Structure 1
Amino acid sequence: MAVSAQAQTIDRTLAALAEPHRRRVVDLLSRGPRPAGELARELGLSPPAMSRHLRALREGGLVEESHPAFDARVRVYALRPEPMVHLLRWLEEAERLWSEQLAAFKAHVDAGEDEA
């Protein structure tokens, strides 16, 4: 069974968000772009550890990297909204399906109570 491109995107997003430090990075970046060094200080991580987390977030498509004109050595990270939009749509569809199932179950239970 072939996996759709959208399913692969959601899988990459969830894999990148599976680690608590990465979720914290996403929280920090939701307030605006930040340099890698600032993110590392905020999270109390070493630069190599921060680099590994940022690489996972980049590979997951959640963040993008840029370099300010004044210093190409500085890496500034910003969120990419697309992966989260796909994840939100998937969650909304899952919620809709669960709501329908629960409503059908409730209707079944209620019908059984009426018969008793």
Structure 2
Amino acid sequence: MNTDPLSTIFAALADPTRRAIIDQLTHGEKTAGELAKPFSMSAPAISRHLKVLENANLIDRTVDAQWRRCSLNPKGLEEVSNWVSHYQKFWADRFAALDDYLEDLKSRGDKTDERDDKGRK
């Protein structure tokens, strides 16, 4: 099955363990063993999570003697950021319109407060 990179990235980030691994890697390069410490799972299970993250281009894995080191690959997260930024403008525009509407209601409310219950001043 051939999926687009963004779908692969979101599928990788859908798992809380993989998001926690990404969070750990924001503090620097770590070995697979170091990444496994907070989790109660086997080394093969962690390895599978790392493989998913690597396939999504979210992490890089290198071999250093007998150690496999993992580091964050910012290109994968950049792709997500680019996609989300398109929708940030949409929501910013929506919130601005809501602010304008609420200000309009507030100014109308101030004028209404000056009138009695029959609409007279």
Scaled by the length of structure 1, what TM-score is found? Answer: 0.76
Q: List alignment gaps of at least 5 residues for structure 2.
A: 109-121
1:1-116 alignment runs, 5 A limit: 8-68=4-64, 70-71=65-66, 74-107=67-100
The one-letter amino acid of 1:23's match is: R
Aligned residues: 107
Q: Deviations over 1:36-58 (max 9, x none)?
A: 12211232321011011111101
**TM-score of the pair, normalised by structure 2:** 0.73
Q: Given residue 77 of structure 1, which amino acid in structure 2 is its aligned partner?
A: C
Larger radius of gyration: 2
Same amino acid, percent of matched pairs: 30
Bigger Cα displacement from structure 2, 96-105 vs 48-57: 96-105
The structure richer in helix per residue is 1
Residues 112 and 32 of structure 1, relative CA distance in 2, 3 Å threshold: closer
- Per chain length, whose mean CA-contact separation is higher, i.e. which structure has more relative contact order (CA < 8 Å, sep 6+)? 1
Displaced runs of 4 or more, over 3 A: 104-114
Distance in 1 between residues matched to 2:9 and 2:30, nearest whole Å:
20
Q: Post-superposition shift, 1:86?
A: 1.7
Report the RMSD for the aligned CA atoms in angstroms: 2.4
